[in-house]
């Protein structure tokens, strides 16, 4: 019998497998797809996540391929010359303010589908079985037996559902979830134009505001992402249309309305929270347990924190610490989702665009440090660690 079975070879399942492996615990991963996902999803890695990836031994190899973001810019575009850092309603925050609290006082931008191959490559061969979606499970006092849709059966002392928001494990374990949709969807445009040359004060992340809305600018290794909210009544094809895309750019970056656009998509944003992280010998981590808006870039990061704290807890349990430790972990992680992850994301979504820049500009150094700690998830990453 394997110690741990993990459903799902996304960033959370693979981080968990590697963190367990580093602690001398045998884990097997069952993945429904034929290979790793290459979908364009998370781009933002916060400091405690970088610490985690460093601890499991993959960040050093990835670091130079991504973008280090040292400074965040907020700027009103309807209050004078928005391209000038002297404009009254602009604010910047240097994440170096966190240097006493983390070895990585910056955000790091890279598509998550570059992380998963690095995690997979660091695992022993044969750790992941592809084309093996978990289809059924049965628990008893000693373990969990899993049946996959390729007909294979597997048994372990614990099963961890890291199979994402539409995975099977949560439902099979009888854990309910509260779900809802955010009212808006998101239009994402990609441009190869280096926006740092055109927006003064911009490093790798900027939020541009007018009285009625905002546009986020994220620097990726080869492109910039421009992110806009789309009203519920706007159909996808209308949002993606050239005229609409250009009008959105013109509203926030009038001098760059003709910038090259190398990619575009629209995605919906959902919110979900499992009622519990544990049902007997089945535990959840990552999107299987929580889903938030992409604003602030926290959900995958929280999943990696789930994985790291769970690996440390399972080591203690397997060393004879008693499985009540898992209840403590499950409670702490759920409290973090309910008390910090979801409300923190929702507050960013609901922020009044007209007042956001002034609020950031008015912060004292202590307030700025507290804001940066929260935005970087330094205050919640270790919740549940033994």
Ligand X SMILES: Cc1cc2nc3c(=O)[nH]c(=O)nc-3n(C[C@H](O)[C@H](O)[C@H](O)COP(=O)(O)OP(=O)(O)OC[C@H]3O[C@@H](n4cnc5c(N)ncnc54)[C@H](O)[C@@H]3O)c2cc1C
User: Which residue ranges make up the site for ligand X (CB under 6 A)?
Assistant: 7-13, 30-33, 37, 41-44, 112, 133-134, 162-164, 167-168, 267, 286-287, 294, 297-301, 303
Q: What is the smallest separation between the CB atom of 80 and ligand X, expressed in angstroms?
A: 31
* Residue among 82 and 108 whose Cβ is closer to ligand X: 108
Burial (CB < 10 A; 0-12, 13-18, 19+), residue 103, is exposed
Q: What is the smallest separation between the CB atom of 75 and ligand X, expressed in angstroms?
A: 21
* Residue among 47 and 90 whose Cβ is closer to ligand X: 47
Q: What is the smallest separation between the CB atom of 272 and ligand X, expressed in angstroms?
A: 11
CB atoms within 10 A of CB 172: 21
Cβ-Cβ contacts under 8 Å for 235 (sequence gap 6 or more): none
Q: What is the spatial distance between Cα 200 and Cα 184, in angstroms, rounded to a whole number?
A: 29
> What's the count of helices (H) and strands (E) in the chain, helices before strands?
12, 19
Q: What is the smallest separation between the CB atom of 197 and ligand X, expressed in angstroms?
A: 24
Q: What is the smallest separation between the CB atom of 339 and ligand X, expressed in angstroms?
A: 18
Q: Which of 289, 371, 305 is nearest to 49 (CA)?
A: 305
Length of the chain, in residues: 386
Q: How far is CA 285 from the centre of its chain?
A: 12
* Residue among 33 and 250 whose Cβ is closer to ligand X: 33
Strand ranges in 99-255 using DSSP code E only, listed in sequence order: 107-109, 128-129, 134-139, 144-148, 153-161, 177-191, 205-210, 213-219, 224-230
* Residue among 89 and 336 whose Cβ is closer to ligand X: 336
* Residue among 4 and 168 whose Cβ is closer to ligand X: 168
Inter-residue contact 189 to 245 (CB < 8 Å): yes
* Residue among 131 and 234 whose Cβ is closer to ligand X: 131
Q: What is the smallest separation between the CB atom of 331 and ligand X, expressed in angstroms?
A: 20
């Amino acid at each position: 019998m394997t110690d741990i079975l993990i459903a799902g070879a996304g960033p959370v399942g693979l981080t968990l497998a590697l963190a367990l492996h580093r602690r001398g615990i045998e884990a097997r991963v069952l993945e429904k797809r034929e290979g790793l996902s290459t979908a364009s999803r998370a781009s933002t890695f916060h400091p405690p996540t970088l610490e985690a990836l460093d601890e499991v031994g993959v960040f050093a190899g990835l670091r130079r391929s991504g973008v280090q973001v040292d400074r965040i810019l907020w700027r009103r575009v309807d209050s004078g010359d928005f391209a000038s850092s002297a404009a009254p309603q602009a604010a910047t925050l240097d994440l170096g303010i966190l240097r006493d609290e983390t070895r990585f006082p910056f955000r790091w931008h890279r598509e998550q589908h570059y992380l998963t191959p690095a995690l997979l490559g660091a695992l022993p061969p044969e750790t992941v079985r592809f084309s093996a979606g978990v289809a059924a499970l049965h628990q008893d006092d000693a373990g969990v037996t899993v049946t996959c849709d390729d007909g294979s059966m597997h048994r372990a002392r614990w099963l961890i559902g890291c199979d994402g928001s539409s995975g099977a494990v949560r439902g099979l374990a009888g854990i309910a979830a509260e779900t809802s949709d955010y009212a808006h969807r998101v239009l994402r445009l990609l441009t190869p134009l280096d926006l740092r040359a055109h927006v003064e004060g911009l490093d790798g992340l900027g939020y541009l505001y007018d009285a009625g809305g905002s546009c986020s600018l994220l620097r990726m290794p080869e492109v910039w992402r421009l992110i806009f909210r789309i009203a519920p009544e706007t159909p996808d094809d209308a949002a993606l249309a050239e005229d609409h895309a250009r009008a959105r750019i013109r509203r926030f970056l009038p001098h760059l309305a003709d910038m090259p656009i190398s990619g575009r998509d629209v995605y919906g944003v959902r919110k979900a929270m499992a009622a519990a992280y544990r049902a007997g010998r089945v535990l959840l981590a990552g999107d299987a347990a929580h889903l938030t808006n992409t604003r602030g870039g926290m959900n995958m990061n929280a999943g990696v924190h789930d994985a790291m704290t769970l690996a440390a807890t399972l080591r203690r349990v397997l060393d004879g610490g008693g499985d009540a430790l898992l209840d403590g972990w499950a409670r702490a992680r759920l409290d973090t989702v309910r008390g910090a992850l979801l409300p923190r994301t929702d507050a960013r979504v609901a922020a009044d665009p007209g007042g956001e820049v002034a609020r950031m500009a008015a912060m004292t150094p202590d307030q700025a440090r507290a804001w940066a700690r929260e935005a970087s998830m330094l205050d919640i990453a270790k919740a549940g660690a033994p």
